[in-house]
Amino acid sequence: MTKKKVIAFALALSLTASMFAACGKAAPSSSASSAAQQSSSQAAGSWSYTDALGRQVKIDTMPQRVVSLYGSFAECWMLAGGKVIGATDDAVKERDLDLDDDVTIVGTVKEPNLEQIIALTPDLVILSADIAPQVQLDTALTEAKIPHIYLRMDDYHSYLEVLRGFCDLTGRDDLYAENGIEMEEEINEAMERAKAQTEHPSVLLLRAFSSGVKAKAEDNLAGIILKDLGADNIASRHESLLEDLSMETIIAEDPDFIFVTIMGTDDEAAMKSIADTLGSNPAWKDLSAVKNNRFIVLPKELFHYKPNEKWGDSYEYLVDILYPNE
């Protein structure tokens, strides 16, 4: 495990221990920055794409005035060598993107400001297909004759597909190689390492937020990666856990690991939800995962926010924990 991963792992365990006792900047690497200063590997081209809402979108030239209503999509466009003139506030507050001073913040992901968006006269608006207020902008943007595209990047395959299209527009095959192909190689290595194991650990994946906690299967980033790495997620076998977080089932399964992803900005309140919901049960402390310090809070930048070019880091982070001696 790299020094960076060890530090993050230690911090996660420290946070967990303290809570129960009581109850980056995202940018291309330096080599990518150097490549960006060089001439493009090919002329900027076009992109034909069936977006996440089933709309047929064809972009004939590289957009120059791009507005993104989701920080991870703005980052993906920037990783392909593009720039944005407008973005929602999560691009700064959550992704900490290095945006130009003249970039306009056009509201939040759930409350985008249509008037501000139109006033910027964009030649492309990038939206999320999973956020209802953004889906509702389709008619208004169409009537305003503003090109727009709805995306969904739930796994590394969809990230690569979008990055490929963006790089086709910018003409930056070099950035696709650096932020896509190299990442995929890291993922393949992690999965091969997992496939080589004769035993695969059982896990319980939890999503905690200020008002509660739920078990999760494969309908989320961490769950997809755990499945790819051969982990036995007990919530996938006991679907009742997805609705009722039964301590009886958890005790009977006694998972080797318990992983937690945190929603929202109040991490302490989220951890208290786990303590109140599960930790208050006397049997909690006797679970193998708890006794063996395998109750692990996963870092948000790799398992809550879309990791984009860091998908390989997400796979490596978990494979190092699941199979530490390999």
pLDDT < 70 stretches in the chain: 1-43, 326
Co-location of 256 and 304 in the same domain: yes
Residue 79 belongs to a domain: yes
Question: Quick check: is 190 in a domain?
Answer: no
The verdict on 222 and 133 lying in the same domain is: no
Kindly state whether residue 183 falls inside one of the protein's structural domains: no
Strands 202-209 and 212-215: antiparallel
DSSP assignments along 169-229, one per residue: HHT-HHHHIIIIIHHHHHHHHHHHHHHT-S---EEEEEEEETTEEEE--SSSHHHHHHHHT
**Which residues, in sequence order, are bridge partners of residue 84?**
66
For residues 209 and 302, membership in a common domain is answered with: yes
Which residues constitute the domain of residue 151? Answer: 44-170
The C-alpha atoms of residue 107 and residue 121 are separated, in whole angstroms, by 16
Both 10 and 58 in a single domain? no
In a domain, 179, yes or no: no
Q: 150-153 long-range contacts, Cβ below 8 Å, gap at least 24?
A: 150/51, 150/52, 150/53, 150/55, 151/51, 151/52, 151/70, 151/73, 151/126, 151/127, 152/52, 152/128, 153/72, 153/73, 153/76, 153/306, 153/308
- Does residue 50 share a domain with residue 162? yes
Shared domain check, 89 and 51: yes
Strand partners, 48: 58
Q: What is the pLDDT of residue 30?
A: 36
Answer whether residue 177 is part of any domain: no
pLDDT in tens, 268-282: 999 999 999 898 899
What sign for the dihedral angle of Cα 281, 286, 288, 293? positive
Token pair in block for residue 200:
């695969």
Predicted pLDDT of residue 135: 98
Q: What pLDDT does 326 receive?
A: 59
What pTM, to 2 d.p., does this model score? 0.84
Q: Tell which residue, 76, 75, 98, 81, has the closest CA to residue 33.
A: 81
Number of domains in the chain: 2
Distance CA 326, CA 317 (A): 13
Domain boundary among 170, 187, 216: 170
Q: In terms of domains, do 72 and 163 share one?
A: yes
The H-assigned helical ranges of 3-102 are 3-22, 30-37, 71-79, 90-93
pLDDT of residue 45: 81
Q: Is residue 186 part of a domain?
A: no
**Domain CATH number, residue 302:** 3.40.50.1980
Question: Is 12 in the same domain as 101?
Answer: no
In this structure, are 128 and 162 located in the same domain?
A: yes
242 shares its domain with 154 = no
Tokens of residue 260, six digits = 């937690």
